[in-house]
Amino acid sequence: MSTRHSAFSEPPKKSLGQHFLHDRGIIDNIVRAVNPQPGDRLVEIGPGQGAITFPLLDKHGELTVIEFDRDLIFPLTQAAHAHGTLEVIHRDVLQVDFSTLAANAGPRARLRLVGNLPYNLSTPILFHALDHAAAISDMVFMLQKEVVDRMGADPGSKVYGRLSVMLQAYCSVTPLFDVPPGAFRPPPKVDSAVVRLVPHAPEAIGIDDPEKFAQVVRDAFGQRRKTLRNALSKVCDSAAIEAAGVRPDARAEQLPVADFVRLANSLRD
């Protein structure tokens, strides 16, 4: 069953990586996963033709969406009148300050993010959200399944890497369900999946210097086949690695997130 409204005449744009969701069962599952509650500040990234937007509006009554494609803004606004109050932010999501958006909603307000993220921008969007994690209560995103697998991977897995460590250091990552290509128009060439991320409380993260932590993780996974002794040679020496209780001859994909945190915290400029 399609949820496309008659106001939408523009076809999906390949240049923007658009694949519009139309499967009603998948849409219902996403809305149930979000489970909007009174007082929630919901923000949808990339509403497209409103497949998730309008069911969320029906449930919650108000919603903010961030949409880059100006051709979708007027039909979204027009179709929303029958569902609830829609605020449209016409901007590249990477230029949206989530912390300011939350602060504008009131003291102690936090955002709930939802969206079918464009495959070509999913990782930058995830890292952008991490920069504002303190202003976010949770995120329910649909992404390429391969990315979701990496997000939730355990140490030792072939897909455990920089994305796994960075996300798990700041959030709990829970894959929810898979989405087949046929749920979209046009169908992508890959499977998708829906995942929930819940930022940890700031006091539970335990990272002293986020920039140093990011550098250690980035360098450690820069060349996966290298030992930490070699991969981190620009950051620290073997003695510093050992002093943090980490083996210099280990490889990055073997280290739990807690070891990366301890190692980064032990380094002082």
Radius of gyration of the chain from Cα atoms? 20
Instruction: Tell whether residue 10 is among the known ligand binding residues.
Output: no
**Annotated binding residue at 208?**
no
Residue 92 marked in a binding site: yes
- Cα distances (Å, whole numbers) of residue 213 to 166, 222, 266: 9, 14, 10
Rounded CA-CA distance 19/69 in Å is 13
| Axis-axis angle for helices 162-170, 122-131 (nearest 10) | 30
192 contacts 144 by C-beta, under 8 angstroms: yes
Instruction: For residue 253, say whether it is annotated as part of any ligand binding site.
Output: no
First to last CA, the chain: 58
d(CA 224, CA 231): 8
Find out whether 19 is annotated in a ligand binding site: yes
Listed in sequence order, the DSSP H helices in the chain are 24-34, 53-60, 73-80, 98-104, 122-131, 145-151, 162-170, 202-205, 210-220, 228-231, 238-243, 257-266
Cβ atoms of residues 133 and 98 within 8 Å? no
Annotated binding site for S-adenosyl-L-methionine: 19, 21, 46, 67, 92, 116
Annotated binding site: 19, 21, 46, 67, 92, 116
